[in-house]
Amino acid sequence: MQTAADGRPVVLVTGAARRVGATIARTLHAAGYDLALHCRHSRAELDALVAELEHARPRSTLALQADLSDLARVPELVMTTLLHFRRLDGLVNNASAFHPTPLGMITPAQWDELFAANARAPLFLAQAAGPHLAGRHGAIVNIVDIYAERPLPRHSVYCMAKAALAMATKALAQELAPDVRVNGVAPGAVLWPEAGKPYADQQELLARTPLKRSGTPQDVAGAVLWLLRDAPFVTGQIIRVDGGRSLSM
């Protein structure tokens, strides 16, 4: 079991098994962090990631699986991390749900799912982690979205949930100050949705992006690392990692 005496900072990352979450995990691990890594369904991918990171540095990771819509499991993630590592220095709320909700077809179940993953769980994780982070002058990074500011057609509930997370980021920065910093990262076009996006739509979107290209998961992970480690006087901010796209949305 890892202990505080070993000196390595510990970060809990939700939604860490795949895509951007896995890149955040690899980036933080390479920077010297020990990690509690959460997934909902992607246990095989999470186990493979843990094996990879453990090969690089033994006894440096903890695998956690939970449905974040079950509020009883949320503080459990924090407590299990503390029991294992005896410390908590950071929280990255990366887990998300994303799907269209065309007006006229929105259901209460869709509202509940999108708000539970994108707004409610990050708030309650921050509440559970806050006192422990305060003891280490730790930090929280929420993965927001540029669509928290301007709506994406046919995705009104998702945009509303991410807007709630953006406000939670600012509110928590006030509530948890001065001992815990809270910031957000708002990615633009980094990875296309897994359901696919027509090639013409991709090209049209990139044409409206000043840097004329999509970003990478590493761009997001680099911003997360900076906010956790290298920005001691930054709190309540949401960093847009979007190639300048938000300038012309």
What residue ranges do the domains of the chain occupy? Answer: 4-239
Phi, psi of 222 (to 5 degrees): -65, -40
Size of the chain, expressed as the number of residues it contains: 249
Tokens of 180: 């815990």
Reference 40, options 114, 143, 117, 145; nearest CA is: 117
**Reported pTM:** 0.93
Is the pLDDT reported for residue 62 higher than 60? yes
Tokens of 34: 């020990």
Classify domain 4-239 at the CATH class level.
alpha beta
| pLDDT value at residue 209 | 78
Residues 166-203: pLDDT tens digits?
Answer: 999 999 999 999 999 999 999 987 766 665 555 556 67
Residues serving a catalytic function are 158
Is the pLDDT reported for residue 165 higher than 90? yes
Write the burial class of residue 191 (CB in 10 Å: 0-12 exposed, 13-18 middle, 19+ buried).
middle
Is the pLDDT reported for residue 78 higher than 80? yes
What whole-number distance in Å separates Cα of residue 221 and Cα of residue 22?
9
Tokens of 91: 């929280």
Tokens of 112: 């509940």
| pLDDT value at residue 1 | 40
